[in-house]
Structure 1
């Protein structure tokens, strides 16, 4: 079968160094979650700069009870269906198939979130160890992009949605605080090469079909598998089946900061976590509006 690739030639293709099958588990109220990054049993609590990768399946009226956030960003990328999100700052909306929401929690946020696919949460890079560092000062921020506005490119049986970063000469308009690529590939029978900056960490998550990654002699990998990539200047992928292979390729510049996490709070030190818990319990430093707030969904569904 002929192989197709982009015009660039990789000098040091990245190999798959670890592989995990993300098995379904229950979370929230009636939600089914396949978690890969962020699972204790995988010994993969953190893959700098990414904290969690969840593939969600939620059927109404299931969802997630109101809960706080501080110190990280989340990306919600809908594969199918639609979900509604809401927070105490007055942000509210519904995202549908192919839509994207990039949320910076900053100093504090209290939300109800129902997700289909959750991009790794990542720490804001601030370089401070003070409890009053930039994490505690940035206001919550949203970037919501409808499916029709996400950059796309195609060539020789390869289609890519460029959520963040660049592929096939097409750049995403999405701003990311930490340099990041997030690419949704659909690959017909054939092959493709995608450059990745040498210093970045990167992984693949297979959504549909089966593919071969990193080494043409490797066994095919099917849906719901996470593949951590080693060092190199890019990824080689092959589809040797008759069905379309769909996978996401995510990469990011490591932050290299110390990490402390307690549930939905992510900081640099345990002292900062303690300060954040105190802020939330006392409704101060970004959590003032949480004192009397409940989402409409929580009220109507009894979450």
Structure 2
């Protein structure tokens, strides 16, 4: 069985989005730094209210999916479809923009720590104009799997098999077949996961650093850095000298052209221009 190796490193850069929310962006900091089907990964983390309090006021999307996963804090999602989601620590939202959605994500706290991630996942051409959809995922809906060495895995999307036990996350049946795991390892802990050979994958440590690869191929990956993996059937990750926490994300690549302008992700420039025109005319949704 071939083990994936660390192929490319993408350090996150400081930026801001929404109404000035400070964050770190790895994937998506340029249109060449993507891992098909993943378009962007943002990490937000601060105990300073000024860094997040203005939130993400009402804005449009078309042509892809957004996933917001909260570690700490509380945000409120509202959209034009009437969906309302209370994003709290340990919970997530999975929003399919499809042909169009206008939504907001606003902090519901005046102080304290707010920490989490937003991931953008592309949609295949045949699904870009399908009706928008929304799934609010409460913390108790996300399975927590204990590892023998004291580590743990939260399964947001996809499936894992640990000690012959099959565990499926709440998100299933999506065309890109995403795997979204939040893994925490103690010092010296190890994690091994099979991944479909044809799927692309990357690792994002957000606490501590990890080592990736089989014993004779291990390479370090620092926190707040996306580590893009080679092809292979399995991945091995180790926290060498202190505890670590990381996201493991994998999905079926679409291998389609990507045309993006801000919150619109289509296949051609003409389709993006149509999305912009539709939004100006109030016809996006």
Q: TM-score, normalised by structure 1?
A: 0.82
Within 1, Cα distance between the matches of 2:223 and 2:80?
Answer: 36
Task: Decide which of 50, 59, 70 is 2:62's aligned counterpart.
Answer: 70
Q: Relative to 1, partners in 2 of residues 1:62 and 1:215: Cα closer, same or farther, differing over 3 Å? A: farther
**Could you report, residue by residue, the CA deviation over 1:140-177 in whole angstroms, capped at 9, with x for unpaired residues?**
21111111110121221231111111122211131334
Report the Cα offset of residue 256 of structure 1: 1.3
Within 1, Cα distance between the matches of 2:219 and 2:212?
Answer: 9
Q: Hey, what does 2:132 align to over in structure 1?
A: 140
Structure 2: stretches of 5+ with no match in the other structure: 107-113
Q: Hey, what does 1:35 align to over in structure 2?
A: 25
Q: Is residue 37–residue 120 contact of structure 1 (8 Å, CA) maintained in 2? A: no
Report the Cα offset of residue 116 of structure 1: 4.2
Structure 1: 4+ residue segments shifted above 6 A: none
Q: Hey, what does 1:249 align to over in structure 2?
A: 248
Within 2, Cα distance between the matches of 1:116 and 1:142?
Answer: 21
Within 2, Cα distance between the matches of 1:252 and 1:227?
Answer: 15
Task: Decide which of 132, 152, 158 is 1:159's aligned counterpart.
Answer: 152
**Greater shift after overlay, 108-117 or 62-71?**
108-117
**Structure 2 residue 41 is the aligned partner of structure 1 residue 48:** no
Task: Decide which of 169, 173, 186 is 1:172's aligned counterpart.
Answer: 169
Q: Is residue 164–residue 180 contact of structure 1 (8 Å, CA) maintained in 2? A: yes
**Structure 2 residue 234 is the aligned partner of structure 1 residue 234:** yes
**Could you report, residue by residue, the CA deviation over 1:206-247 in whole angstroms, capped at 9, with x for unpaired residues?**
011221112546454332111000111111111221x32111
Within 1, Cα distance between the matches of 2:104 and 2:276?
Answer: 19
- Give the 3-state SS of the residue equivalent to 1:38 in structure 2: coil
Residue-pair matches, total:
266
Q: How does 1:46-195 map to 2 (within 5 A)?
A: 46-57=34-45, 59=49, 61-114=53-106, 116-127=115-126, 134-136=127-129, 138-157=130-149, 158-167=151-160, 168=162, 169-175=166-172, 176-188=174-186, 189-195=188-194
Structure 1: stretches of 5+ with no match in the other structure: 1-10, 128-133, 287-303
- Give the 3-state SS of the residue equivalent to 2:40 in structure 1: coil
Q: Hey, what does 2:8 align to over in structure 1?
A: 18
Q: Is residue 159–residue 167 contact of structure 2 (8 Å, CA) maintained in 1? A: yes
Point out the structure with max Rg over C-alpha: 1
Taking only aligned residues, the RMSD between alpha carbons, in angstroms, comes to 1.9
- Normalized per residue, which structure has more strand? 2
Within 1, Cα distance between the matches of 2:69 and 2:131?
Answer: 22
